[in-house]
């Protein structure tokens, strides 16, 4: 069996085209143009790259972006004050605080300052709390797990009643992905660094979401034939044939697993492009909520 490749670039572009068209309609109807504020604290190269990509996506989709940068030694009060100011700014519909924050800062306290209806990253404790409760709806769902579920649904994978295994329990990916799957009636097992017999657990999965950050750890003989595999991992693997000396690979051994799985996302070009697309979707939704 050779798996169907789920092309995240194509799906993400479709989402972006839809958001762009919706933004145009909104503006044509005389409503304010949606706006996203980004907050970057410190000088992490990867964080700066992510923020730039998010601003570029805004420009392409007709969403205004307001970039804010604070130094790596910014004080807790400074960051909280900025977020509070953005929460009160009517031009700002969505606020994205790029994580991780420098370690001296209290991340949860900063996220709590984001007005709930501007929490386009979905990390406000109340939005996460609602995601964890039966019958409650968060205003926004964290972008990467939202993208994972969207890819499964677009591929036509049956989630209702499926056995799903999520590798990783981070606040950003693993836990919200597991909660979303439970909300869609999957039976979910969440694995982490203390899980015993990982291959044995993974082998029971009809749906596997891998988000552990371990190079190609999931092997071909770990998975059940026909499983739907969403690989969130982004790892660099030495590759002397590449100019940079490395290439990006996932948490799943793509070449092996694609021979057994029913569906699989590649790395790059799978979940990666979905994260920003879902952020754009959330920002548009925030504008709709704030300017009904
Ligand atoms: P993280 O915060 O480092 O969490 C990793 C999780 O994996 C933890 O729960 C950890 O368990 C678990 N884990 C680590 N080693 C393990 C092992 N050997 N066996 C089983 N579980 C193990 O990572 P993250 O932020 O969720 O990111 C995960 C991966 O996704 C990374 O490669 C990251 O670059 C990628 N990512 C991609 C996107 C995207 O847009 N595509 C977005 C976010 C993240 P413990 O809890 O026990 O420590």
For the chain, 292 residues long, give each residue's pLDDT as a single digit of tens. 699 999 999 999 999 999 999 999 999 999 999 999 999 999 999 999 999 999 999 999 999 999 999 999 999 999 999 999 999 999 999 999 999 999 999 999 999 999 999 999 999 999 999 999 999 999 999 999 999 999 999 999 999 999 999 999 999 999 999 999 999 999 999 999 999 999 999 999 999 999 999 999 999 999 999 999 999 999 999 999 999 999 999 999 999 999 999 999 999 999 999 999 999 999 999 999 999 9
pLDDT of residue 1: 67
Q: Report the alpha-carbon angle 201-207-212, nearest 5.
A: 65
| Euclidean distance between CA atoms 228 and 214, whole angstroms | 19
CA 194 to ligand 1 centroid distance, Å: 13
Of ligand 1's atoms, which has the minimum distance to the CA of residue 274?
A: 40
CA 108 to ligand 1 centroid distance, Å: 19
pLDDT of residue 283: 98
Query: Ligand 1 pocket: which residues have CB below 6 Å?
Result: 144, 167-170, 172-174, 191-195, 198, 211-214, 232-235, 271-272, 275
Query: What residues are annotated to the active site?
Result: 54, 98, 121
pLDDT of residue 209: 99
CA 140 to ligand 1 centroid distance, Å: 22
Of ligand 1's atoms, which has the minimum distance to the CA of residue 272?
A: 41
CA 234 to ligand 1 centroid distance, Å: 9
Of ligand 1's atoms, which has the minimum distance to the CA of residue 212?
A: 7
122: its two tokens: 């979905």
Give the pairing type, strands 235-238 and 246-249. Answer: antiparallel
pLDDT of residue 187: 98
Exposure of 18 by Cβ count < 10 A (0-12 exposed, 13-18 middle, 19+ buried)?
Answer: middle
pLDDT of residue 22: 98
- Residue 4's SS3 state is strand
Minimum CA distance residue for ligand 1 atom 6: 168
pTM attached to this predicted model: 0.96
Distances (CA, A) of 44 to 30, 65, 102, 262, 282: 39, 20, 9, 38, 25
Ligand 1 pocket test: pick from 9, 170, 230 the residue with the most ligand atoms within 8 Å of its Cβ: 170
130: its two tokens: 């609602």
Minimum CA distance residue for ligand 1 atom 41: 272
């Amino acid at each position: 069996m050779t798996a169907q490749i789920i092309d995240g670039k194509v799906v993400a572009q479709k989402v972006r085209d839809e958001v762009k068209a919706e933004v145009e309609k909104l503006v044509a109807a005389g409503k304010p143009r949606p706006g996203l504020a980004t907050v970057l604290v410190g000088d992490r190269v990867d964080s700066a790259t992510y923020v730039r990509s998010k601003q570029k996506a805004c420009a392409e989709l007709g969403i205004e972006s307001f970039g804010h940068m604070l130094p790596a030694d910014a004080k807790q009060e400074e960051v909280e004050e900025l977020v509070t100011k953005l929460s009160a700014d009517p031009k700002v519909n969505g606020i994205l605080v790029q994580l991780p924050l420098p370690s001296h800062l209290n991340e949860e306290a900063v996220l709590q300052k984001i007005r709930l209806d501007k929490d386009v990253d979905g990390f406000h404790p109340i939005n996460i709390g609602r995601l964890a409760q039966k019958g409650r709806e968060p205003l926004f769902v964290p972008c990467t797990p939202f993208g994972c579920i969207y890819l499964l649904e677009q591929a036509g994978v049956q989630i209702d009643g499926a056995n799903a295994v999520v590798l990783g329990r981070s606040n950003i990916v693993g836990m919200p992905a597991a909660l979303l799957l439970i909300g869609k009636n999957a039976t979910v097992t969440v694995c982490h660094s203390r899980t015993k017999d990982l291959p044995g657990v993974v082998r029971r999965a009809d749906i596997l979401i891998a988000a552990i950050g371990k190079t190609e750890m999931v092997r071909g003989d770990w998975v059940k034939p026909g499983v739907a595999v969403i690989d969130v991992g982004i790892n660099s693997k030495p590759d002397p044939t590449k100019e940079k000396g490395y290439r990006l690979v996932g948490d799943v051994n793509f070449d092996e697993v694609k021979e057994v799985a029913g569906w699989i996302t590649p790395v790059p070009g799978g979940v990666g492009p979905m994260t920003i697309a879902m952020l754009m979707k959330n920002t548009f939704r925030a504008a709709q909520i704030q300017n009904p």
